[in-house]
Structure 1
Amino acid sequence: MAPPPPLLLLLLPLLSTAAPTISTTTLPLYRHLPHVAETAHHHPLSRLAAASLARASHLRRPAHHKGQAGTASATALYPHSYGGYAFTASLGTPPQPLPVLLDTGSHLTWVPCTSSYQCRNCPTAAVPTFHPKNSSSSRLVGCRNPSCLWVHSAARLAGSNCTTGAVCPPYAVVYGSGSTGGLLIADTLRAPGRAVRNFVVGCSLVSVHQPPSGLAGFGRGAPSVPAQLGLTKFSYCLLSRRFDDNAAVSGSLVLGGGRAGGMQYVPLVKSAAGDKQPYAVYYYLALTGVTVGGKAVRLPERAFSANAAGAGGAIVDSGTTFTYLEPTVFQPVAEAVIAAVGGRYKRSKEAEDGLGLRPCFALPQGAKSMALPELSLHFKGGAEMQLPLENYFVVAGRAPVPGADAAAPAAAEAICLAVVTDLGGAGGAGDVGGGPAIILGSFQQQNYYVEYDLEKERLGFRRQPCAASSSSSMN
C-alpha cells in the first residue's frame, strides 16, 4: 500500500462553534445493495454469508488495537452493501452530509476524509468524503486530549514525545476483512434540533476493503455516538430486505426517545471480561434458551454466558447480516431444524455448497409454500422473540454451483436457514475459543423496533413494519 499523504497538511485546526442545543431527532435508515451478478462465485447470498462470517471473526477475535442526557432525535436507516444499514450524518460548519453505517459492535466513529482519501480493494462507487478545510469548526485532536486515549494506550503516548500542542498520533482500526486509518478530529455534529460541538471522529485517510461510507460507532464506551451525545436511549427499526431495490423506502434510527408501548425487555449484561477490549464494547443479552418447533434445543452453557476471558455469551449486532452461531451452538440448532422438517423436503446440496448456508431444503416443484418449524429466542425475565419465518429462512432462488458448467441446468430453488457458522477448523471464526458464541444479526432483527435503554441496562423489542417513505436526514 502506498503511504498516506502528509497528515498534518490535510487538516486545519480551526475554531469551534457555539454550545449544542438538545432536541428530539428521528433519522431514516436505508439499505443500499448495488447489483451483484449471480455467477458461480458471486451469488448475492454467498457474499452476505461470507461477509457475516468475516464480521463474526472480527467481533470474536479482532486484531489488537485501541481504538448531559438529551431527549429524542430520529433519522432514516438504509441497509448497506455488505448487509448493514446507513443513515446520513451532517458534520462541520457549514454541515457536510455523509452516509455512515450504524454499528453497535464498535465505538469509534470515522468518515472518509479529504480529497486525498484512498480506499484499496473497495467498491468502485464514488465515496462521499469530509473536507475539514471547508469547516470553520474543525480542529485536530491533541495527544494530551483525553480522547486520544480512545485510540492509543497511555504507554504508547508516553513514548511518542507527546508535548503540549502535539497532535494525537494516527490511528489504525482493523476489521474482519479490512482496515482504516487516519487522524482524530473534533467538529460539530448536527441533527434536527441538535448541534453537538467537539464531537470526536476519525478522519480516515486510507482504508482497505471498506464500504463507500463512514461508520458510526454505537457500541458501549466513551467514543461512541450515544456517549458523546449524552444519550440514555436509542432505537432503530430495520427495513425488511424485500425493499432492497427500493431506495425510496427506509427504516428509522431514533436518538433519545420517550417510553415506547408494547415492548418486551431483555436485560443487557456487561461483559464478564470487565474492561477488556473489545468485549467491553458489546451489548450482551441475557439469553436463556432457543426453541425450534416449540421444543427446547439443548445448548452448551457457553451459549448463555461469557467467561472472564470473553469467551461465550450472546450479543446483538447491527453490523452482522446473518446471525452467527459458534459450531457447538449451531450444530444442535441445525439438527433440530432438520428433525422438525422430518423428511418432508429434500436437502439441497447444490444450494448449500453454492451459498455457504445450511441446512437448505429444495422447494418441491410447483409448490408455493413450505411448512417450516418456528424458531424462538428466550430471555431472562420471560421475554420471547418468536421470529417470523422470513427472519430466519431465506429463499435462495436458483443457487449457482461452484465449478459447474455455465450451460448446465441451474439448481432447483431452495430455502435456507439464514444463520452462519464456521466448521473449517483452526483460525476460523467458529473455533471454540474467545469471543461471543452467538451474534444476533440484522437479518433476524428486520421489522422489529429495537430499543437500547442504556440507563436501565435493557434491550426492548416489538414486531412492527419498519418501511417508511422518508426524506429526513441528520442536518
Structure 2
Amino acid sequence: MARASFSSLIIFLILHLTITTVAGDPDDVALLRNRHHGSGPAMILPLYLSAAPNSSTSALDPRRQLSGSESKRHPNARMRLHDDLLLNGYYTTRLWIGTPPQMFALIVDTGSTVTYVPCSSCEHCGRHQDPKFQPDLSSTYQPVKCTIDCNCDNDKMQCMYDRQYAEMSTSSGVLGEDVISFGNQSELAPQRAVFGCENIETGDLYSQHADGIMGLGSGDLSIMDQLAEKNVISDSFSLCYGGMDVGGGAMVLGGISPPSDMVFAQSDPDRSPYYNVDLKEIHVAGMRLPLNSKVFDGKHGTVLDSGTTYAYLPEAAFLAFKDAIVKELQSLKQINGPDPNYNDICFSGAEIDVSQLSKSFPVVDMVFGNGQKYSLAPENYLFRHSKVRGAYCLGIFQNGKDPTTLLGGIVVRNTLVMYDREHTKIGFWKTNCGELWERLHISDAPPPMDEINSTEAVEPSVAPSASQHNIPSGEIQIAQITIVISFNISYVDMKPQITELAGLIAHELDVNTSQVHLLNFTSLGNHSLSKWGITPSTQAAYISNSTVMSIIARLAEHRVQLPGTFGSYKLIDWNVEPPSKRNWWKEYYLVVALAVLITLLVGLSILGTFLIWKKRQQSMHPYKPVDATVPEQELQPL
C-alpha cells in the first residue's frame, strides 16, 4: 500500500446495513491499515461517522453492566495469533465456519465490526490463504433474510453488507449465519453467529494473503457483541502481540483474571465508536514532554487500533517526542531510512540483540487520566532498519493535520491488552506473548471432551493425511520433531540471535517457545546449518496429534516464514520421532545416569576385590607359561 499524505483526503463512507432500529448505532467504520514493510504514513480516521450510541439508554448495548445472575464465570475462547506485525502488517487468527468446519485466517481488527470471508460465489476476490467458504457444503448455514431492517437484495431477499475503508479498499457481499468454532484450545463451544460472505473485494483486501477480517469493534455485527449478547462469554477480550521480529501471539474472547500489576486506562464508549484511552502525558527518559494534555483529546481522542501497524501523534506531540528522543540518542548516529521515499528517523550503532536495546534507547511512558503509567520498551516505538544491522527507526509518526492520536500494534508488542468493555477500561501488561498461557498459569490443553456439546469444537487438522508422511493413523505418540534449516548467514552473525530465532520458529510452527530447542549448529563459512528439536509442552509427555499434524502440514507445505533479517534460508529436512524410535535413555537420562554410576561403582568394587584376590593367589603360586623356557629367576606376579 502506497504511503501518502492524508491532509487532503476526503472519504465518504456509505454504510448500507442497519441491523437494529436503535437510532445512531454506529456501523463498521475502520481505520486505515498500513501493511507496508517499512515505516508508515500519516494516518487518518474516516471523515464521516454516525454518532455513537448512548450506552446508558440503549437496551441492546452489550456493554451494559451484567447483573448478579449474569456475572457468573463464563468460558472463554483461547486462540493463537499468527503472522508478523511488520512483515505482514497484521496479525491473524484461525476461525472455523460451518458443519463440517471450513478454516479461515482472519485479521484481528478492533477497528472493524463485521467478520467476513470470501464466498464461493465471489465475483471479484483475490487468491488468499485458504479456499473460499462454500455455503452449500455446510449443513448448518442459513442466509439472513430480509425480515429485518437491512439493505436487501430484492432478487434473493437476502441481507447485504457493504464496507469501504479509508485506504480505499472495499468489501461487499451477503450476510449469512452459521456455526463458528474457535479451535481446540478454547473452552467456548461452537456458536451460531452472523458473518459476511464476500462477493466483491478491492484494494488491499483483494491482494492480502489473509482470507478476511475478524471484526472485534463495537457494533451489532461484531463477533464480540454477538457472543456477549448471548451471554456465552463475558463482555471482554484480550490481544497479545509478539515482540520485535518474533510475531505471533495469543488472543482471548471472553474474560480472564487480570494480573495484579496490570495498568488500566479508562475507555469512554460515548467518546468515540473506536476503543480509546484517556492519555494525558508522554514522558521520555523520565521527563514529561512540554505539552497540554488536551493535545491527546482531539477529534476521536487517543484510539487503540489492532489493525494499524504503527503509532501516529498530532503534530505538536510528534515534534516534541522526536526532539526528546534525538536528545537522548547523541551517542548514536542518525542515518537515512530504508526507503528513500520517506523521511524516516533512524539511528545506527545500537545492539543487535533486542533484549539489550534499553542500553541505547530510553524508556517512554504513557500516563493516563487515573495517574497509572504504561511504559514502552524500545521495541514498542522502534522497528528494525531493513538494510543496516544494528540500526533502528522510529515507529511513531506525525498524523498529518489530523488531531487524533492513533496507537497501532507496535505500541503493544509483547503486551497483553485487555479490552474490558463491561467496565469501560483497557488494561496493559508487559509480558512474553509467546508464553502467555504459562505466564497466566493457564493450561493450553484442550478441554475434556465431555465438557463439549459438539464435536465441531475440536480444531480440524490442517495437515495432509498421515499416510503422506509415513505417520501411523490413529492416536500416535510423538516424542520429538526435528527440523534442519540452512541460512546464508555465518555462525558468528547468527549466534547472538539464537534465542530470537527459537521464538520465530515456535511462532511459525504454532507451539510455545519453551518447546523449541537448538540441537546442533554448524558453521559453513558464510553459511550455517542448524538442527532444531520440537518437544512436548511441560504439561505433556508427548506432542498431541493435532499439533503433530499441524506442524507436519506447515513443514510439508513450506509455510515456515522467517524475517528478512535472517537472510535467505532453506528447510533441508524434517523428521518425526516416536518414542519407539527414540534413544530410550533420552526419556530417563537422570535415572539412566544414576544407574550407570551405581553400576560402575559396583563393578569397580567387584573388579578391585577380584584383582586383590588374584594378586594374593599369584604371590602364593607364581605363574609359569605352559611350554615356556623357565628362566632361572622366579617370574614376578602380575
TM-score for both structures, normalised by structure 1 = 0.69
Aligned to 2:302: 314
The one-letter code matched in structure 2 to 1:459 is I
In structure 1, what is the Cα distance between the partners aligned to 2:198 and 2:370? 43
Q: Is the CA contact 2:417–2:429 (under 8 Å) kept in the aligned structure 1?
A: yes
Q: Does 1:290 align with 2:279?
A: no
Map Cα deviations across residues 118-143 of structure 1 (whole Å, 9 max, x no partner): 335xxx65443211111111122122
Map Cα deviations across residues 145-167 of structure 1 (whole Å, 9 max, x no partner): 25x3xxx5xxxx6xx879xx822
Change (3 A) 1:90 1:48: farther
Change (3 A) 1:364 1:238: closer
The one-letter code matched in structure 1 to 2:169 is G
In structure 1, what is the Cα distance between the partners aligned to 2:112 and 2:300? 18
- Quote the sequence identity (%): 26
In structure 1, what is the Cα distance between the partners aligned to 2:411 and 2:315? 19
In structure 2, what is the Cα distance between the partners aligned to 1:258 and 1:413? 38
Report the CA distance between 1:300 and its aligned residue.
Answer: 4.8
Match of 1:335 among 319, 323, 330: 323
Change (3 A) 1:353 1:97: closer
In structure 2, what is the Cα distance between the partners aligned to 1:464 and 1:366? 21
Aligned to 1:186: 177
Aligned to 2:224: 226
Map Cα deviations across residues 11-66 of structure 1 (whole Å, 9 max, x no partner): xxxxxxxxxxxxxxxxxxxxxxxxxxxxxxxxx9963434xx47x33x343799x9
CA RMSD between the two structures: 3.4
The one-letter code matched in structure 2 to 1:83 is G
Report the CA distance between 1:305 and its aligned residue.
Answer: 2.0
Aligned to 1:101: 107
Report the CA distance between 1:457 and its aligned residue.
Answer: 0.8
Report the CA distance between 1:312 and its aligned residue.
Answer: 4.3
Whichever structure has more strand as a proportion of its residues is: 1
Aligned to 1:267: 266
Structure 1: 5+ residue stretches without partners: 1-43, 245-249, 273-278, 400-411, 423-429
Report the CA distance between 1:347 and its aligned residue.
Answer: 2.0
Change (3 A) 1:446 1:114: same
The one-letter code matched in structure 2 to 1:243 is V
Matches within 5 A, 1:44-443: 47-50=37-40, 53=41, 56-57=43-44, 59-61=45-47, 70-79=74-83, 82-114=88-120, 116=122, 118-119=124-125, 126-146=129-149, 148=150, 152=151, 166-191=157-182, 192-195=186-189, 197-208=191-202, 209-210=204-205, 211-212=208-209, 213-230=211-228, 231-244=234-247, 250-262=248-260, 263-272=262-271, 279-280=272-273, 282-306=274-298, 311-341=299-329, 343-348=330-335, 350-351=336-337, 354=340, 356=342, 358-363=344-349, 371-398=360-387, 414-422=391-399, 430-432=400-402, 437-443=404-410
Change (3 A) 1:199 1:283: same
Describe the SS at the equivalent of 2:245: helix
Change (3 A) 1:228 1:460: same
In structure 1, what is the Cα distance between the partners aligned to 2:244 and 2:258? 24
Report the CA distance between 1:454 and its aligned residue.
Answer: 1.2
Change (3 A) 1:336 1:45: farther
Q: Which has more radius of gyration?
A: 2
Map Cα deviations across residues 353-382 of structure 1 (whole Å, 9 max, x no partner): 537363212327999966222211111212
Structure 2: 5+ residue stretches without partners: 1-33, 53-69, 229-233, 438-443, 447-457, 461-638
Q: Is the CA contact 1:45–1:355 (under 8 Å) kept in the aligned structure 2?
A: no
TM-score for both structures, normalised by structure 2 = 0.53
Aligned to 2:540: none
In structure 1, what is the Cα distance between the partners aligned to 2:419 and 2:193? 21
The one-letter code matched in structure 1 to 2:331 is R
Aligned to 1:452: 419
Map Cα deviations across residues 180-221 of structure 1 (whole Å, 9 max, x no partner): 111111111123443455411110122122223111111112
In structure 2, what is the Cα distance between the partners aligned to 1:474 and 1:320? 29
Describe the SS at the equivalent of 2:334: coil
In structure 2, what is the Cα distance between the partners aligned to 1:202 and 1:333? 41
Q: Is the CA contact 1:185–1:200 (under 8 Å) kept in the aligned structure 2?
A: yes
Aligned to 1:425: none
Report the CA distance between 1:92 and its aligned residue.
Answer: 0.9
Which one scores higher on RCO, CA 8 angstroms, separation ≥ 6?
1
In structure 1, what is the Cα distance between the partners aligned to 2:35 and 2:158? 44
Report the CA distance between 1:446 and its aligned residue.
Answer: 1.1
Report the CA distance between 1:286 and its aligned residue.
Answer: 1.0
Report the CA distance between 1:474 and its aligned residue.
Answer: 5.8
Describe the SS at the equivalent of 1:347: strand
Change (3 A) 1:358 1:298: farther
Change (3 A) 1:46 1:396: farther
The one-letter code matched in structure 1 to 2:76 is A
Map Cα deviations across residues 250-284 of structure 1 (whole Å, 9 max, x no partner): 42111213322221211112243xxxxxx41x111
Q: Is the CA contact 1:49–1:355 (under 8 Å) kept in the aligned structure 2?
A: no
Change (3 A) 1:88 1:175: farther
Describe the SS at the equivalent of 1:332: helix
In structure 2, what is the Cα distance between the partners aligned to 1:312 and 1:141? 33
The one-letter code matched in structure 2 to 1:203 is C
Q: Is the CA contact 1:287–1:380 (under 8 Å) kept in the aligned structure 2?
A: yes
Map Cα deviations across residues 230-261 of structure 1 (whole Å, 9 max, x no partner): 141111211123224xxxxx421112133222
Report the CA distance between 1:113 and its aligned residue.
Answer: 1.4
Describe the SS at the equivalent of 1:330: helix
In structure 1, what is the Cα distance between the partners aligned to 2:114 and 2:128? 24
The one-letter code matched in structure 1 to 2:265 is V
Report the CA distance between 1:144 and its aligned residue.
Answer: 2.9
Map Cα deviations across residues 380-439 of structure 1 (whole Å, 9 max, x no partner): 21221111112212231426xxxxxxxxxxxx86321111235xxxxxxx2236xxx211
In structure 1, what is the Cα distance between the partners aligned to 2:313 and 2:269? 20
How many pairs are equivalent? 372
Change (3 A) 1:258 1:345: closer
Q: Is the CA contact 1:63–1:174 (under 8 Å) kept in the aligned structure 2?
A: no
Describe the SS at the equivalent of 1:304: helix
Change (3 A) 1:365 1:438: closer
Change (3 A) 1:62 1:112: farther
Q: Is the CA contact 2:352–2:390 (under 8 Å) kept in the aligned structure 1?
A: no
The one-letter code matched in structure 1 to 2:92 is A
Change (3 A) 1:104 1:455: same
Describe the SS at the equivalent of 2:37: helix
Change (3 A) 1:203 1:284: same
Map Cα deviations across residues 99-118 of structure 1 (whole Å, 9 max, x no partner): 11110111111111116453
Change (3 A) 1:190 1:352: closer
